[in-house]
Amino acid sequence: MKDHITIEGHDGAFAAYIARPKTSPAPAVAYHGGDTEKYLGEVGGLSAPLLMHLAEEDEFISKPAQAEIKAALAKKPNATVYSYPGQNHAFTRHNGAHYNAAAAALANGRTSEFLHQQLR
């Protein structure tokens, strides 16, 4: 079993995750990772499992930035990126302005399965 996990949902979460010491990599989940594209040069050092959720209509992460993120992480066998069509930033935030129950349930179910697999 991994010693700990990281679940992040705020801007800069991906940067904080990949910038931390790599001696004890733990699995991580990133929801709505604003500014992720600014830190893609660090992806080479990513050794821990990563699950990322991106809203396709995210007003803080442009479509070109999302394409960069997906392309960079596609090179990492331990990274999975899910994209949610028609969803805006923070679509999983319960009672938030862009909350979508169906999309949130899908993302949260994927997260639950990922964590179940990683924490065996």
pLDDT digits (tens, 9 = 90+) for 39-65: 888 888 888 899 999 999 999 999 999
Number of neighbours of residue 82 by Cβ within 10 angstroms: 13
- Structure tokens given for 79: 């990274």
CA distance 56 to 77: 22
pTM confidence score: 0.84
Kindly report, residue by residue over 19-46, the tens digit of the pLDDT.
Answer: 555 555 678 888 888 888 888 888 888 8
Catalytic residues: 58, 89
